[in-house]
Structure 1
């Protein structure tokens, strides 16, 4: 009766949470960062938490691509884009084609306002994660309550939270691929459900490094718990349906896979094992040692990259395990098999992450396609299975001296591995009172000791990791009125032959907003377009720069170049007319100073400056006068840019549209001896001298 009551209460609360979540159109999106810091929508912010700039894979790619799909009326080819790209890509999008059958979390698109559909998708992904992993934990012997706690524990870890709003679908759907084989239904239905969920897993978010590593987890789980699947003829049927699932996904993504396989990046990348820093496995035991409470990394890496599957549950079990009963793991052959199997699987994963295993060895399990750092989540799943299974069989001793040992080790871990690099960061010690309260609650109730330490670990994980992703209403993502910045952009698009060419609109954000924009993200290259645009560029250089997954960034440079493996820049003046700066020999030294500029980039043949001027008149009447020594032999061009920081940091009469970038050609790639920039309102004649960067002197004027 109590078991049924618990299920009913949990389901009621879960459904109530879903209703509240979706009715508020909440999501884990950090898109508000783009709206505020790039378009000046000051009033838009999450209802809880804050937008994370580091999650650009979401707010600059996945969410804008979803917006573009909605604006494109869910058609396959993006007619709103300059590149007319195929939207059947690695990121699952709600395209209205036969693939939508395998994307159940996206079925509300086209039926309700997309804000509700977007919110439903993310709550469904969360639900699938919690329910799926809880189900698997029950198969390793967990009660329903403990299984749910462990599932939430896995959810509130660094990897899950730091990658959630982009890779959440592929880690959430994984359990459902193998769950059918545990259901008491006919084999044909097991195989059919396996096929469906496998295709869904691949199409909702295709990212082979994580999927290959999780497929290994699925193989181990089925091998240990459902060994009959690997007997003939069942195993043959399993291979057939697995092949059908892979074939269906490949058929759907055929054009994308074909084009991507021939690219420079990601192309046919292969990896060897090793090179994962030791601080990562230490963070399994001490989850917060690599970053602060405010999510600032402490080891010089991208914040998302430092996310591991770390829980204080692991170290708690190490300290509280009843080692006198360890022999019970060997009393039954089934227990021994599961313990040994999970242990071997875990150490195989560790070997790939930490040892220099050759790529040709990794090819046996396709791990040569898995960056060692991307093995993090799969290894965390296996480790959690192993730790729970061991503790559940052997038992927990929650005595005061064991508690003292745990407190000492947790404190020492903080002291050795975090205090030494961040002496003012003490947030890891929050675990100490939590586990202390857990001890007080369970000290006279040995049967509750295991659940008590899991609860303590989950509470810490919720406090430490649960604040990373915001609760952001999706309403402004899909239903937003144009502000003055967006109206300016729409005019720029209109006057430039229906093509928006501006800087600082990251990723696919411009197209997501409805612009036919040069800046975009193209998962597959458009080589014919670039060959036509840059006929003077050699074939080899063109291939190296453009034949890749690309964030395309318009920039006032003189020629195209590569910023990083997945990001390139293209000269603005090939696609939009830039303004010419007026070279002057002198200027009034009594000019008031409003505005400033800094050195943005130095090339072999040019220097680009980024700044803002004191213009207060119409856009079309704005100009820049420049005095430079030695004089430039070529025309100096500039372009207006958006500076959304200006309304917050300057007088109200200076707007976000006062930004600019100026390109100064230089034959030797060095800075000029001196430089002065003057903003000019041609209509009013008002001139302001801009502040120079400290390292670049003004040119002296002879006019007082």
Structure 2
């Protein structure tokens, strides 16, 4: 009888059932009409057997689709990188941005650090030490880089680098990470009882969440490898095979991108899932074997990263940080259920945080399940010991994580689980994976009750949230209206017996997630990242470096981008400190000053605003431009103008104005080579100190326009003064052609008066 009902439901037919069957099947009620769906523990097990062929068919179809898409993706060398910002604005390669989408400045961990260091690894022929860097740093760091040493065994997504153009290898890496994510979580959700539609739907929904997408281009490998670490432990295979697979996959997971806060929290999620679904693994003998294997994987990772771990352990930043639980904003909690709550359609944050830090694993799926769960049917799952234990274990695990994320707990509370090394915001993804499993199991066990009254309550909740939170900020209601429209469509579809509610809820969540978050990461071709002819800006950088003993010293070049392009650049990112290098550069610093400034993970910035190095924020070191540059200055001289050029163009702003100096930052419409850029200055009252004209990168300037304004047309002009400046005229001069253009003054700074 049960099999007949199951088959009739899958065929879309409706047959009345007796009340005795209610203990076996979940009820879906729409205006007093009852439909049956197979959500009990017994029917789930039967369904798994009956759906094996369907599952295999789905996997075959998915594999074919992914392989065909991979050919298209890799052939175009696409990637989720935002490196187009550097290519277009800092290096002048116009038209080298994404084929689709917008590069995100906020993803600087990727386009300023990880991708340039990948370029540097390629430039160094995949060797361990970065010989193209001023600091000769070790590339065995937290970011997984394609170094061709014994560690490459554990970086399978990077195996192509040695055999093909790095653009194709880079693209393949990211498509492989995407594929590992989708298949891995689909298989994981399958293990907790999901049918093919729901398993793949939840996997894609998890991919299209704020935390996944906002951190994808850097931490995506951590997300993607996680399910593969625990999936072998679900399999009915000999324990020694489990052990081998666990060892290799765990080391892969740790080396492809080493970031303990996320990996520690995901390890807890994995342990909770295994305790709920494979409790036999926690028998003493098996548990000891698996713990030893996990320990061996950790030791292998530590051996590979030993120098990096030693160097960073005693740093000022990141050092040995210990954190407590964090009382996050209430709006972070609400965004688990209302994913678009804290940002505009264009990803502008509406609270004081950057968009990446606002990322949560929020899904409308959670809201739908919470609203339509059939609590009246609680006796059915609760009477089944296996289902009851799974709900209790998953619920307890999630509540523990939620407490760490939401409550101001002291760090000692988290020490037994190493959570004192996990900032609450970094637990979002692991908590989201567990919450997704918990919500699915609850829906699968209790059933769903889809009624008109519950739909009205849901609509009221959505509109109430929009009115009192988003309307006051003049926010769009687009996503709320789309959500409510889709809920109505699901209601109609279930009423007409077109489909069951659970897959419909997954579909709603996925559609909205793709709309909200699928636009965040671009499709950036990797070809121009690794294959670029020298253009005017690169040739100018070459000239500057040649005139400065081979060292490129240019202000405002971000992170490791210059080194990624092959330059021996002062501006760089050093994941480990180089105290001996800095001690030789600044011998007058005391040991305490040297340690406080330079003993840290650092973005090294060149600036003309200081005379000695400092560290204005945790991951930034500023060093004086004058210490490293003998070629970074441009001609500047005082002139008593008898007449001014008629043409005006360019502009500048006053950055510092006091009784001793005037600091101006701007751009000029020079057309000739960099070494022929000059400034003529007339100032009242006259001053006797020498003006200093320094090159300043201006990534906001247009590229390759008809008057050839580029990022190199920026300048920082420092003029010593005595007292207040009453008037000023600045003229840009192209030395070889004699072309002169008057720069536009700020509105509050008068032009100089010429003598008649």
Deviation at 1:569, TM superposition (A): 1.9
**Residue of structure 1 aligned with 2:266, choices 200, 214, 218:** 214
**What is the TM-score of this pair, normalised by structure 2?**
0.88
Deviates more, 1:401-410 or 1:223-232: 401-410
Deviation at 1:606, TM superposition (A): 6.2
Partner of 1:480: 532
Give the whole-Å Cα distance in 1 for the aligned partners of 2:661 and 2:297.
52
Partner of 2:628: 575
RMSD: 2.4
CA contact 1:60–1:509 (8 Å) conserved in 2:
yes
Deviation at 1:681, TM superposition (A): 3.9
Give the whole-Å Cα distance in 2 for the aligned partners of 1:229 and 1:5.
30
**What is the TM-score of this pair, normalised by structure 1?**
0.94
Structure 2 vs 1, CA of residues 235 and 666 (structure 1 numbering), >3 Å: closer, same or farther?
farther
SS where residue 335 of structure 2 aligns?
A: helix
Partner of 1:408: 460
Give the whole-Å Cα distance in 2 for the aligned partners of 1:464 and 1:434.
15
Partner of 2:193: 141
Structure 2 vs 1, CA of residues 29 and 660 (structure 1 numbering), >3 Å: closer, same or farther?
same
Structure 2 vs 1, CA of residues 666 and 321 (structure 1 numbering), >3 Å: closer, same or farther?
farther
Partner of 1:462: 514
In the alignment, structure 1 residue 639 sits paired with structure 2 residue 639: no
Give the whole-Å Cα distance in 2 for the aligned partners of 1:687 and 1:496.
28
Give the whole-Å Cα distance in 2 for the aligned partners of 1:671 and 1:540.
39
In the alignment, structure 1 residue 661 sits paired with structure 2 residue 740: no
In the alignment, structure 1 residue 12 sits paired with structure 2 residue 64: yes
Structure 2 vs 1, CA of residues 127 and 651 (structure 1 numbering), >3 Å: closer, same or farther?
closer
Partner of 1:326: 378
Per-residue Cα deviation, 1:548-576 (whole angstroms, up to 9, x for no partner):
11111122223322242112221121111
Partner of 2:356: 304
CA contact 1:274–1:356 (8 Å) conserved in 2:
yes
Deviation at 1:415, TM superposition (A): 2.2
SS where residue 694 of structure 2 aligns?
A: strand
Give the whole-Å Cα distance in 1 for the aligned partners of 2:686 and 2:405.
55
| Aligned 1:251-400 pairs, distance under 5 A | 251-400=303-452
CA contact 1:346–1:379 (8 Å) conserved in 2:
yes
Give the whole-Å Cα distance in 2 for the aligned partners of 1:556 and 1:528.
23
SS where residue 570 of structure 1 aligns?
A: strand
In the alignment, structure 1 residue 520 sits paired with structure 2 residue 575: no
Partner of 1:564: 617
Deviates more, 1:675-684 or 1:468-477: 675-684
Partner of 2:38: none
Deviation at 1:684, TM superposition (A): 5.0
Partner of 1:426: 478
Structure 2 unpaired stretches of 5+: 1-52
SS where residue 689 of structure 1 aligns?
A: strand
Give the whole-Å Cα distance in 2 for the aligned partners of 1:464 and 1:169.
22
Partner of 2:743: 690
**Residue of structure 2 aligned with 1:65, choices 98, 104, 117:** 117
Count of residues in correspondence between the two structures:
701
SS where residue 284 of structure 2 aligns?
A: coil
CA contact 2:281–2:287 (8 Å) conserved in 1:
yes
Structure 2 vs 1, CA of residues 31 and 602 (structure 1 numbering), >3 Å: closer, same or farther?
farther
Per-residue Cα deviation, 1:1-31 (whole angstroms, up to 9, x for no partner):
5444333222221221222212221111111
Structure 2 vs 1, CA of residues 334 and 506 (structure 1 numbering), >3 Å: closer, same or farther?
same
Structure 2 vs 1, CA of residues 532 and 156 (structure 1 numbering), >3 Å: closer, same or farther?
same
Give the whole-Å Cα distance in 1 for the aligned partners of 2:653 and 2:437.
54
**Residue of structure 1 aligned with 2:644, choices 587, 590, 603:** 590
SS where residue 420 of structure 1 aligns?
A: helix
Deviation at 1:644, TM superposition (A): 4.7
Structure 2 vs 1, CA of residues 646 and 324 (structure 1 numbering), >3 Å: closer, same or farther?
closer
Partner of 1:131: 183
CA contact 1:66–1:512 (8 Å) conserved in 2:
yes
CA contact 2:344–2:475 (8 Å) conserved in 1:
no
Deviation at 1:314, TM superposition (A): 0.7
Deviation at 1:127, TM superposition (A): 1.2
Per-residue Cα deviation, 1:535-557 (whole angstroms, up to 9, x for no partner):
22333222222111111112222
Structure 2 vs 1, CA of residues 41 and 238 (structure 1 numbering), >3 Å: closer, same or farther?
same
Structure 2 vs 1, CA of residues 246 and 6 (structure 1 numbering), >3 Å: closer, same or farther?
closer
Partner of 1:680: 733
Partner of 1:233: 285
In the alignment, structure 1 residue 619 sits paired with structure 2 residue 674: yes
Give the whole-Å Cα distance in 2 for the aligned partners of 1:4 and 1:341.
30
Per-residue Cα deviation, 1:174-232 (whole angstroms, up to 9, x for no partner):
11111111122211110111111111111100111111111111111122222222221
CA contact 1:580–1:636 (8 Å) conserved in 2:
no
Give the whole-Å Cα distance in 1 for the aligned partners of 2:415 and 2:520.
35
Per-residue Cα deviation, 1:133-177 (whole angstroms, up to 9, x for no partner):
122212211112211111111111000011000000011111111
Deviation at 1:532, TM superposition (A): 1.3
SS where residue 134 of structure 1 aligns?
A: helix
Give the whole-Å Cα distance in 2 for the aligned partners of 1:523 and 1:306.
25
Give the whole-Å Cα distance in 2 for the aligned partners of 1:606 and 1:185.
75
CA contact 1:398–1:446 (8 Å) conserved in 2:
no
Deviation at 1:636, TM superposition (A): 3.4
Structure 2 vs 1, CA of residues 654 and 60 (structure 1 numbering), >3 Å: closer, same or farther?
closer
CA contact 1:556–1:608 (8 Å) conserved in 2:
no
SS where residue 679 of structure 1 aligns?
A: strand
